[in-house]
C-alpha cells in the first residue's frame, strides 16, 4: 500500500486547474450568493410592505414598502447568519443523519482519517443516515466545521477501496469549499421558500377575513394585488429549487471525482463505487428533498438512474454516471 501511495502525482484536474483555484471560486460565489439572497429577501419585503398599504395614499405606500424592505433586510441578514452558523446541522438533521463515534465503526473512521490526511485537512465529523438507498454527502461552512454523511446501505455495500473513493469524493467537496456554497444554497433558498409559504398562508388567511368583512373599493383592490403577489411567490418557490440545481453546476461533481483521484491515486475505487451507486434505483425519499438534492454524490430523487442511455439534461443536478465513470477510467491510462 505504502509504496503505491508514493506514486507520481496523478494529473487528475483538467488543464492547469488546481484545487486552490476551486477554493477561490467557491468563496467568491458563496459571497455573491449571500448578497443576492439578502437583496432578494429585501425585494420580497418591499413587495409585501407595498401590498399591505395598498389602497392608501401613494406616500403611505412608499413608506410601507420602505419599512418592508428594511425589515426584510434585517430578517434576511439574520437568516444568512443562521444559514452560516446553523446551516450544516439543519441539513444533517433534515436528512436524519446520526453522528457516530470512532468505536462504533473503526474502519469508516480510519478511511475518513486517511482521506483528510491526504488532503491535509482537520478531521470532519462522521454521520450515518439510516436509509436503504445508496448515497452520501458532505456539508459545513469550511473544513474546520465539516461533516460527511453516508447511508448505512452504502456503508455496507462497498469494498474498502470503493468506500475510500466515496469518502475521497466527499473530502474533495470539503477541500474545494463546495460544501460552503451548497450549504448556503440549500439553507438560504430553503428559508426563502419557507418565507413564501408562510406569506401565502398569511395572504390566504387575510383574503378570507377580508371577504367576510366585504368592505369598500380600496380593500377590494388590495385583495386583488395580494392575490397576484401570492401567485407570483407561489411560482418563485419551485423555480428557486430549480435554480439551486442548475447553479450548483454539474461541473463540481466532475471536479470532486477528479479531486478524489488526486487523494486516493486510485481511479478504480471511486469508479467501482459509482457503478454500484448507478445500479441502485431506489430514491432517497426521506433524507433528501429538492432543496438538498444537489449535495449528494448521486442525484437522490431520480426514480430510475440507469448508467446506460441516460441523457444529460439542462435541469439535472448531476452529470450522467456513465460519463463520470468514463472520465475516471481515462485517468487510469
Partner 1 sequence: MSGLVIGIVIAGLFVVVLFWFIAMYNVLVRKRIDCDNGWSQIDVQLKRRYDLIPNLVETVKGYASHERETLEAVISARNQAVAVSSDAAHAMEKGKAEGALTMALGRLLAVAEAYPNLKADGSFMKLQEELTGTENKIGFARQHFNDVVARYEESRQTFPTTIVAALFAFQKRDYFTVENEAERAAPKVSFK
User: Which is nearer to partner 1, 187 or 264 (by Cβ)?
Assistant: 264
What is the closest distance, in whole angstroms, from the C-beta atom of residue 262 to partner 1 in the complex? 8
Q: Which of 31, 35, 117, 228 binds partner 1 (CB under 8 A)?
A: 117
Check residue 6 for interaction with partner 1 (CB under 8 A): yes
Q: Which residues are paired to 140 by β-bridges?
A: 146
**Total residues interacting with partner 1, rule: CB under 8 A:** 22
In contact, 153 and 134? CB cutoff 8 Å: yes
Q: Which of 5, 104, 215, 312 binds partner 1 (CB under 8 A)?
A: 5
Q: Which of 16, 57, 101, 120 binds partner 1 (CB under 8 A)?
A: 120
In contact, 108 and 158? CB cutoff 8 Å: no
DSSP-derived 3-state class of residue 151: strand
Query: DSSP characters for 240-291?
Result: HHHHHHHHS-THHHHHHHHHHHHHHS-HHHHHHHHHHHHH-----TTT--TT
What is the closest distance, in whole angstroms, from the C-beta atom of residue 19 to partner 1 in the complex? 10
Q: Which of 80, 119, 191, 284 binds partner 1 (CB under 8 A)?
A: 119
Check residue 106 for interaction with partner 1 (CB under 8 A): yes
What is the CA 17 to chain-centroid distance, rounded?
Answer: 23
User: Which is nearer to partner 1, 145 or 265 (by Cβ)?
Assistant: 265
CB under 8 Å to 137, separation ≥6 — which residues? 95, 148, 149, 170, 173, 292, 295, 296, 297
Of 213, 214, 212, 210, which is closest to residue 226 (Cα–Cα)? 210
Q: Is 282 a catalytic residue?
A: no
| Stretch 237-276 residues interacting with partner 1 (CB under 8 A) | 263, 265
Check residue 196 for interaction with partner 1 (CB under 8 A): no
Sign (positive or negative) of CA dihedral 329, 255, 115, 120? positive
Task: Report the alpha-carbon distance of residue 120 to residue 10 in Å, rounded.
Answer: 17
User: Which is nearer to partner 1, 117 or 224 (by Cβ)?
Assistant: 117
Catalytic residue among 29, 131, 162, 170: 170
In contact, 136 and 166? CB cutoff 8 Å: yes
Check residue 1 for interaction with partner 1 (CB under 8 A): yes
What is the closest distance, in whole angstroms, from the C-beta atom of residue 170 to partner 1 in the complex? 15
Query: DSSP characters for 5-69?
Result: HTSPPP--SSTT--HHHHHHHHHHHHHHHHHHHHHHHHHHHHHHHHHHTTTS-HHHHHHHHHHHH
Q: Which of 9, 209, 212, 311 binds partner 1 (CB under 8 A)?
A: 9
By CB under 8 A, which span of 77-85, 102-110, 176-184, 299-307 interacts with partner 1?
102-110
What is the closest distance, in whole angstroms, from the C-beta atom of residue 286 to partner 1 in the complex? 31
Site string (146-175) toward partner 1, x via CB under 8 A: -------------xx---------------
Active site positions, annotated: 170
Q: Which residues bind partner 1 (CB under 8 A)?
A: 1-6, 9, 106-107, 110-111, 113-115, 117-120, 159-160, 263, 265
Amino acid at each position: 500500500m505504502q509504496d503505491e501511495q508514493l506514486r507520481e502525482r496523478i494529473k487528475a484536474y483538467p488543464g492547469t486547474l488546481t484545487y486552490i483555484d476551486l477554493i477561490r471560486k467557491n468563496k467568491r460565489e458563496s459571497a455573491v450568493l449571500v448578497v443576492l439572497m439578502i437583496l432578494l429577501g429585501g425585494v420580497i419585503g418591499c413587495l409585501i410592505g407595498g401590498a399591505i398599504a395598498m389602497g392608501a395614499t401613494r406616500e403611505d405606500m412608499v413608506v410601507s414598502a420602505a419599512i418592508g424592505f428594511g425589515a426584510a433586510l434585517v430578517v434576511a441578514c439574520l437568516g444568512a447568519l443562521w444559514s452560516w452558523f446553523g446551516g450544516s446541522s439543519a441539513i444533517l438533521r433534515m436528512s436524519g443523519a446520526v453522528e457516530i463515534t470512532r468505536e462504533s465503526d473503526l474502519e469508516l473512521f480510519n478511511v475518513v482519517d486517511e482521506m483528510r490526511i491526504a488532503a491535509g485537512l482537520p478531521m470532519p465529523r462522521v454521520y450515518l443516515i439510516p436509509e436503504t438507498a445508496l448515497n452520501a454527502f458532505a456539508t459545513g461552512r469550511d473544513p474546520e466545521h465539516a461533516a460527511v454523511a453516508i447511508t448505512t446501505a452504502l456503508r455496507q455495500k462497498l469494498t474498502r477501496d470503493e468506500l475510500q473513493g466515496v469518502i475521497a469524493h466527499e473530502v474533495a467537496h470539503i477541500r474545494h469549499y463546495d460544501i460552503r456554497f451548497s450549504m448556503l444554497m440549500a439553507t438560504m433558498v430553503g428559508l426563502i421558500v419557507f418565507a413564501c409559504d408562510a406569506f401565502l398562508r398569511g395572504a390566504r388567511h387575510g383574503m378570507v377575513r377580508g371577504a367576510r368583512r366585504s368592505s369598500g373599493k380600496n380593500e377590494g383592490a388590495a385583495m386583488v394585488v395580494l392575490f397576484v403577489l401570492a401567485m407570483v411567490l407561489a411560482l418563485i418557490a419551485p423555480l428557486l429549487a430549480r435554480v439551486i440545481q442548475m447553479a450548483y453546476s454539474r461541473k463540481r461533481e466532475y471536479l470532486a471525482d477528479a479531486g478524489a483521484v488526486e487523494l486516493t491515486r486510485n481511479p478504480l475505487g471511486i469508479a467501482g463505487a459509482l457503478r454500484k451507486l448507478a445500479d441502485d434505483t431506489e430514491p432517497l425519499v426521506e433524507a433528501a428533498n429538492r432543496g438538498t438534492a444537489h449535495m449528494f454524490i448521486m442525484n437522490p430523487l431520480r426514480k430510475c438512474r440507469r448508467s446506460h442511455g441516460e441523457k444529460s439534461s439542462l435541469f439535472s443536478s448531476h452529470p450522467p454516471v456513465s460519463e463520470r465513470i468514463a472520465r475516471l477510467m481515462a485517468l487510469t491510462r
